[in-house]
Amino acid sequence: MKPYSRLAYQTIKVAALAGGVGGAKLVVGLANCLPPENLSVIVNTGDDFTHFGLRICPDLDSVMYALGDLQDPTRGWGLAGDTNQVLQALRTLGAPDWFQLGDKDLATHLERTRCLAEGLSLTETTLHLCARLGIRASVLPMSDDPAPTFILTRDGRKLAFQEYFVREHFEPEVAEIDLEAAGRAKPTRKVMDALMEADLVVLCPSNPWVSIDPILRVAGLRDLVQEKPVVAVSPLIQGKAVKGPAAKMFAELGIEPAALQVLAHYGNLVSAFVLDELDALSVQNSELKDIILYSTNTLMQCAQHKFRLADEVLRLGLLVLNQSEKHD
């Protein structure tokens, strides 16, 4: 992997908001462009749940494994080269098997659960796991309080996020997304400091509804983000999500699944918006004032693509920073 070269943006502090596999990919690119002390990743914990008594934090794990270059390259979640012996033994016992916990991956959940039971916060536990995995950027849960996201379905059910996403393969139609718990969750000192010290905030190409919104819903975090230059990256390309239910959710909530609707969703939070070059034509005639639109290839299929997109996001961030300084 090519080490980062000394570029102007390396002196700026960046806070990236992320959740899920797409977010983790851009985070890897950012980590390759910036010195580790200048990158904080604030991660969605709305997907977290307790399974077999173990505390599972899928988005924290996806970011951690991606930064440690440990992730399964095909699935984007879980560990590369993991096996499923425990899962198979559980199946024999008739235990629920809808959520795949790999044998090596189980070590993360066991150690996290042990640390939490000993009284460490989720932030302290995550920093401990990151240190052991050799990850130097700050990976921060959005809150130490549980903040589960629920999906209210058109057929009248209230599903915990992993029940909707994994057990039901995000097939049920979404009527509403319940982020009430995130709204009650307190932000951590570390997350607030990361946002206050940041020169630039990046909204990674994660699902706006269930990955970025829960973070913004935690008390005070949206206001802190609002005060900073923000570059957001669309998770939709030509109306489709690279992975996961983002496009399907837009449609079910009565909104056209399109990059510009992602921008509309974030509204006045965003100073610059990165969308895929395949969507560039669709925005030519749109009336957007005060927001820089930038189109490029946003599909991150290999390490080189992640670094290039991160480099472009940071250059754009510098441009926004310079412009805001001019106006001050």
Residue nearest ligand FO1, Cβ-based? 20
| Single residue of 26, 32, 47, 241 touching ligand FO1 by CB under 6 A | 47
Binding piece for ligand FO1, criterion CB under 6 A, among 99-107, 149-157, 175-183, 283-291: 99-107
- 15, 16, 20, 224: which one binds ligand FO1 (CB under 6 A): 20
Pick from 15, 38, 42, 61 the residue near ligand FO1 by CB under 6 A.
61
What is the widest separation between alpha-carbon atoms in the chain? 66
Strand 54-56 versus strand 49-51 pairing type: antiparallel
Q: Between residues 148 and 187, which has the closer beta carbon with respect to ligand FO1?
A: 148
- The terminus-to-terminus CA distance of the chain in angstroms comes to 39
Q: CA–CA distance from 50 to each of 34, 185, 186, 220, 265 (Å)? A: 34, 18, 20, 27, 31
Out of 100, 226, 286, 322, the residue judged to bind ligand FO1 by CB under 6 A:
100
Q: Kind and range of the H or E element at 16?
A: strand 14-18
8 A C-beta contact, residue 290 and residue 301: no
* Helix runs in the chain, H state only: 20-33, 58-67, 85-92, 103-117, 122-132, 161-162, 180-184, 189-197, 213-217, 221-226, 246-252, 259-266, 303-327
The site map against ligand FO1 for 134-173 (x = CB under 6 A) is: ----------------------------x--xx-------
Among 26, 39, 59, 232, interactor with ligand FO1 by CB under 6 A: 59
Amino acid at 157: R
Asked if 199 interacts with ligand FO1 (CB under 6 A), we say: no
Nearer to ligand FO1, 99 or 294 (CB): 99
Cβ proximity to ligand FO1: between 78 and 208 the closer is 78
- Give min distance, CB of 88 to ligand FO1, in A: 14
For residue 214, give both structure tokens. Answer: 């829960």
* Contact (Cβ atoms closer than 8 angstroms) between residue 254 and residue 225: no
Cβ 252 to ligand FO1, closest distance in Å? Answer: 17
CA 69 → CA 25, 29, 63, 303, 313, distances in Å? 11, 12, 10, 10, 21
Does position 22 interact with ligand FO1 (CB under 6 A)? The reply is: no
Min dist CB 19 to ligand FO1, Å, is 6
Residue listed under structure tokens 């440990």: 70
Query: CB 21 → ligand FO1: shortest distance, Å?
Result: 6
CA atoms within 13 A on the CB side of 162: 18
Q: How far is the CB of 322 from ligand FO1 (least distance, A)?
A: 34
Query: Binding residues for ligand FO1, per CB under 6 A?
Result: 19-21, 47, 56, 58-59, 61, 77-78, 99-101, 105, 162, 165-166
